[in-house]
Amino acid sequence: MGVKGMLFVIVALVLVEVEVEVVAIDDIDSTQIALHGCQRNCGDVQIPYPFGIGKTENGTTCFLDKPFNLTCNSSSSSLTSGNVQVININISQGQADMLIFVSKYCYNSSYGNNAVSSQPSGLISSSSFTISSKDNKFISVGCDTYGYLNSFYNNNAGYSTGCLTRCYGNTKEIKDGDCSGIGCCEVDIPPKMRSVSTQAGTFFNFQDSLVFNNCSYSFVVKNGNYTFKKAHLENLPYEMLPVVFNWSVGNETCKKSLNRGTNACKGNSTCVDAESGHGYRCQCKQGFEGNPYHPHGCTDTDECKTGQHSCVSDHNCHNTNGSYICFCPKGQSGNGTKEDGCLKKNFLLRIVIGASAGFITILVGTCLLYLTYQKRKLIKLKEKFFEQNGGLILLQQGEESSHTKIFTADKLKKATNNYDENLIIGRGGYGTVFKGVLENKTIVAIKKSKFSKIF
């Protein structure tokens, strides 16, 4: 029973060692897909739905809504929306990079010394596009210059911001790469800037700086895509600069659009209200990738094949719907993650098995010793009884005459049919007398000594 119990404990320990870990993973960039039968790209730029160009053969539009209606100029391979050029669309981030015209106001002799007029340069009029405040700056360049960034929507609700720069003819402090307010000024973009426009102007028609600066420039630009140079005061060499927009679909919140059944988020995706307060965005659920606006929805990411897992190796990774599992090979312990790894059989487990094996050996050995001791004790006792019942005398006589015969206990047992009660022919103070039949059919009387009855 002791041995069985020990084996059971060992089996239980082995079972406890088998462990599997489920690990959740970060969001993944989507593969970008257009609707079936629609143009997938214009030049190098991919066009994922909800953006699109024109219609399919059966007449369904390739874009979700008016703001996402694009045009491709095949001769110049440029993708445009009104007067802005789209250079990258990111579905998972809900952003788009666009080239926007720089606003410019130059010296006009017909205005004299008090010019206040300027030509605005429209950015993008749709409320679906918000300038990302995190990714852009508003910049004005000039020496008698101001710039406006305007956001007017919903019947002129909105606000303006901007900056000014005046040099008063002093050019010494103007340095390349320094946009700190002399010849160049910059400001952060406020949040929720949509339906935006920029505007450049001059206070005194460049009266102090006409020799080296006769134009004002104002623009929003992606962080890192503009570095001020002194030479730009004479002529800014860019007509358009890149701006990062956050875009959203619909004109209602997630809740309202879901209630109305107009929500554009497809399978395995979730709806997120836009920060701009206009519409919402769709995002693939964690562990899924693809285009959440596309009718096919998002599909499971195979983290194991694309290396987006935290398992020790691709072989220790098992892909599941929306996630993956790390595991260790048979006979190893650990959870299979990079943190924990896999160990060739736990050290502790080895100690337990070793100790168990030792204990079993000692147990079995003790049992064997005890059994041997008992057997020897029995033999000695038998010898004692043999002597007590005159066995030695009989043995001596047997050697001298052929009349005496010594029978083994086995033979006597057989002769009396295992001391059958029916064969008892008498009882005495020292034992019982049985009728016995020997192998050679001789009938004999056998006395069983009382001392030997113990056995």
- Residue 2 touches ligand NAG, criterion: CB under 6 A: no
Rg (CA), the chain: 50
Q: How would DSSP label each residue in 352-397?
A: HHHHHHHHHHHHHHHHHHHHHHHHHHHHHHHHHHHHHTTHHHHHHH
- Residue 92 touches ligand NAG, criterion: CB under 6 A: yes
State the nearest-atom distance from the C-beta of 181 to ligand NAG, in Å: 23
- Residue 299 touches ligand NAG, criterion: CB under 6 A: yes
Give the residue among 210, 243, 219, 223 at the shortest CA–CA distance from 95.
Answer: 243
Say how far apart CA 121 and CA 82 lie, in whole Å. Answer: 13
Q: Which residues contact 445 (CB under 8 A, 6 or more apart)?
A: 425, 433, 434, 435, 436
Residue set of the binding site for ATP: 448
Determine the size of the site formed for ligand NAG (CB under 6 A). 49
The two tokens of residue 451 are 């001392």
Beta strands 323-326 and 317-320 are antiparallel
Q: H-helix or E-strand containing 138?
A: strand 136-141
SS3 201: strand
- Residue 258 touches ligand NAG, criterion: CB under 6 A: no
State the nearest-atom distance from the C-beta of 163 to ligand NAG, in Å: 19
Dihedral sign from CA coordinates of 260, 266, 268, 274:
negative
- Residue 73 touches ligand NAG, criterion: CB under 6 A: yes
State the nearest-atom distance from the C-beta of 187 to ligand NAG, in Å: 15
- Residue 339 touches ligand NAG, criterion: CB under 6 A: yes
Find the part of the chain contacting ligand NAG (CB under 6 A) among 103-111, 141-149, 369-377, 432-440: 103-111
Say how far apart CA 306 and CA 41 lie, in whole Å. Answer: 25
Q: Which residues contact 351 (CB under 8 A, 6 or more apart)?
A: none
State the nearest-atom distance from the C-beta of 2 to ligand NAG, in Å: 35
State the nearest-atom distance from the C-beta of 341 to ligand NAG, in Å: 8
Say how far apart CA 368 and CA 394 lie, in whole Å. Answer: 35
- Residue 23 touches ligand NAG, criterion: CB under 6 A: yes
CA angle 140-146-148, nearest 5°?
A: 80
Count of CB atoms situated within 10 Å of the CB of 307: 9
State the nearest-atom distance from the C-beta of 100 to ligand NAG, in Å: 11
Question: Applying CB under 6 A, which of residues 43, 191, 331, 398 lies at the interface with ligand NAG?
Answer: 191
CA torsion 246-248-251-256 (nearest 10°) is -130
- Residue 302 touches ligand NAG, criterion: CB under 6 A: no
Query: Is the previous residue joined to 329 through a cis bond, with omega within 30 degrees of 0?
Result: no
Question: Applying CB under 6 A, which of residues 106, 164, 424, 437 lies at the interface with ligand NAG?
Answer: 106
The two tokens of residue 289 are 């990738």
Shorter beta-carbon distance to ligand NAG: residue 185 or 312: 312
Q: Which residues contact 350 (CB under 8 A, 6 or more apart)?
A: none
Find the part of the chain contacting ligand NAG (CB under 6 A) among 161-169, 292-300, 365-373, 435-443: 292-300
Shorter beta-carbon distance to ligand NAG: residue 132 or 218: 132
Dihedral sign from CA coordinates of 372, 377, 380, 385:
negative
**Which residue's CB atom is positioned nearest to ligand NAG?**
267
State the nearest-atom distance from the C-beta of 10 to ligand NAG, in Å: 24
Shorter beta-carbon distance to ligand NAG: residue 178 or 340: 340
- Residue 305 touches ligand NAG, criterion: CB under 6 A: no
Please provide residue 293's backbone torsions phi and psi, each rounded to the nearest 5 degrees: -90, -15
Give residues 140-179 in contact with ligand NAG (rule: CB under 6 A): none
Shorter beta-carbon distance to ligand NAG: residue 23 or 437: 23
- Fill in the amino acid letter for 435: K
Give residues 212-251 in contact with ligand NAG (rule: CB under 6 A): 214, 224-225, 234, 242, 246, 251
Please provide residue 70's backbone torsions phi and psi, each rounded to the nearest 5 degrees: -110, 165
- Residue 387 touches ligand NAG, criterion: CB under 6 A: no
- Residue 195 touches ligand NAG, criterion: CB under 6 A: no
State the nearest-atom distance from the C-beta of 71 to ligand NAG, in Å: 5
State the nearest-atom distance from the C-beta of 369 to ligand NAG, in Å: 45
Q: Interface residues with ligand NAG (CB under 6 A)?
A: 21, 23, 29, 36-37, 56, 58, 60, 65-66, 69, 71, 73, 75-76, 88, 90, 92-93, 106-108, 110, 130, 132-134, 191-192, 214, 224-225, 234, 242, 246, 251, 267-268, 275-276, 297, 299-300, 321-322, 335, 337, 339-340
